[in-house]
Amino acid sequence: MTADGPNNEEACMARLGEILRAQRERKGILLEGAADDTRIREKFLHALEQGDYNSLPGAVYTKGFLRNYTEYLDLDPEELVALYNEERGVVAEPPRAFRPMRPIMRRNLILTPAVLVPAFVLAGVALFAGYLYYQFTVFALPPRMEVFDPPTDAITQASDYLVKGRTEPDGRVTVRVFPGPETFSDVRPAADGSFSVRVPLRPGANHVEVEVLDHAGKVSRQTRSIMQELQPTAADAGPQLIVEQPANGGTFTNTPVTVSGRASRVATITVNGAAVPIAADGRFTVTVNFTAGQQSIRVVARNATGGEVTELRTVSVAYSAAFVTVNVRSGSAWILATVDGSQVPNTNRVFPEGQVLTFTGRQVTVRTGNGAATHLTFNGQDLGAMGAPGVVAERSFGNP
């Protein structure tokens, strides 16, 4: 400030501030209300109207306050900002010049150790993974084999049958026919893996087992039952028998063995000497309990004139837990069963004659109210009745 009055900058700012203050007063707005409406602090609005530059923030913020305030007061923001620049002596920014972008030049791939080493590592990992997959498919999986003729169990009147299939070209095929057995070994497949073996048939059921051995020593096996059904005459119509299960050589763990099949022109069927009921359609099924080890099953069908046909099966039975079968015979019985310390649901009630119950676990306990009517089998061994008629009895069984 000079002795005569304010300098030019202060006079200009005072002129800008006077315009703002005069407009606000003309609209009848208090400075405090303007601050609330514009959300600009009251001291900054007061500094704009008083031309107190030292109390204002930087030029960028001041221009922002000025634009908002002039719009709020219905003044021209551009005109007053230009006036502010003129009064402050601010030179307007020259227009920016934009240079065209240069095209990005692509560099040719340069093989450096930083590129080659990861590439070799990835290639090694891929080769190792492929090697592991090859080893798994060659040494872990059994050889592929398909017997497509017969596709399932079959009935024929011919005295032989041409068994056809497909497997690995380098596999060795062996075919066995039971009863007998008759063995056809070292059958070499063709280049496409196909093979065929003509096997003789006997009247009745013939069990055909096809086995392939690959170069890694792994085995695949499939079985078929082929019934040779001779054309019956009026004088001689022999029995026909097909045993559908169990498969020869099957393994059963913690379970009884179910023997089932179908027959025609028969009067009786026995399984290991015990008679088996025959349904009207010729089907039959029976459950047999065996002790652990290799067991033989002999199914015999007889007709009314004494004709007979026999089917044999061999199975393996094993037990890894206590397997208890309860048969209710000669009357009803109240039975309560617990397995591994917990009551078996749907027990603790009276069961009628003919009911069969099975329980499996580490520890099996059976309690009955009629010992004579409650017969037990433990892991295939028949233990007989639990006690006398009407006598409460209890038996516990653990792991073998």
Residue at 181 is within a domain = yes
Residue 166 pLDDT: 94
Final residue belonging to a domain, choices 201, 228, 255 = 228
Residue 6 pLDDT: 41
Residue at 112 is within a domain = no
Q: Residue 291 in 3-state DSSP?
A: coil
Q: Could you tell me which residue, 315 or 95, shows the higher pLDDT? A: 315
- What dihedral angle (degrees, nearest 10) is formed by the CA atoms of 344, 346, 348, 354? -110
Task: Examine the domain organization and report whether 196 and 256 are in the same domain.
Answer: no
User: Which pLDDT band, with edges at 50, 70 and 90, does 234 fall under?
Assistant: very low
Residue 129 pLDDT: 84
pTM of the model: 0.41
- Decide: 373 and 386 in contact? Cβ < 8 Å: no
Task: Examine the domain organization and report whether 215 and 268 are in the same domain.
Answer: no
Residue at 119 is within a domain = no
Residue at 100 is within a domain = no
Residue 236 pLDDT: 53
CB within 8 A of 138, min separation 6: which ones? 216
Task: Examine the domain organization and report whether 33 and 66 are in the same domain.
Answer: yes
* Structural domain range at position 271: 240-318
User: Which pLDDT band, with edges at 50, 70 and 90, does 271 fall under?
Assistant: very high
Q: What is the mean pLDDT of the chain?
A: 85
Task: Examine the domain organization and report whether 248 and 281 are in the same domain.
Answer: yes
Res. 279: pLDDT tops 90? yes
Res. 366: pLDDT tops 60? yes
**In this structure, what CATH number is given to the domain that contains residue 77?**
1.10.260.40
User: Which pLDDT band, with edges at 50, 70 and 90, does 209 fall under?
Assistant: very high
Final residue belonging to a domain, choices 39, 63, 88 = 88
Angle, alpha carbons 84-90-93 (nearest 5°): 115
- Cα-to-chain-centroid distance, residue 259: 32
Residue at 102 is within a domain = no
Residue 12 pLDDT: 45
Task: Examine the domain organization and report whether 215 and 150 are in the same domain.
Answer: yes
Res. 278: pLDDT tops 60? yes
Residue at 104 is within a domain = no
